[in-house]
Amino acid sequence: MYLFAIILIALFAIFGIIFGVQNAAPVEVHFFANEFTTPLVLVMIISFAGGAILAFVLAIVDEIKLRGKIGKQQREIDTLKKELGTIKTMPEQEEKNED
């Protein structure tokens, strides 16, 4: 499985390099009041990196929420286990009191 992932990443990198070399033409970028000329591939890389960073941050936020929810549910499970243990021992105590 790791070999497949490495081959897939290598192919993606090779195609990315080929695409970058073929799209090295300068483009004019307007960002707010600034205007500058840069290679198209650089604009694409920055856009891709920005999207990847945003996705990573959102994934971390989601992970934190899920861990909090899991912790809350684990505490509830522990409480319910204690309550169940108490309920299971009740009839035994009542039988001892009757004797």
Q: pLDDT tens across 43-80, in order?
A: 888 888 999 999 999 999 999 999 999 999 999 999 99
Of all residues in the chain, what percent carry a pLDDT higher than 70?
91
Q: In 26-71, where do the E strands start and end?
A: 26-31, 34-39
Crossing angle of helices 2-22 and 40-98, rounded to 10°: 150
What integer pLDDT is reported at residue 94 of this predicted model? 60
- pTM score of the predicted model: 0.59
Round to whole Å and give the CA distance between 9 and 11.
5
Q: Are 37 and 27 spatial neighbours (Cβ–Cβ below 8 Å)?
A: yes
C-alpha 27: how far from its chain's center?
A: 33
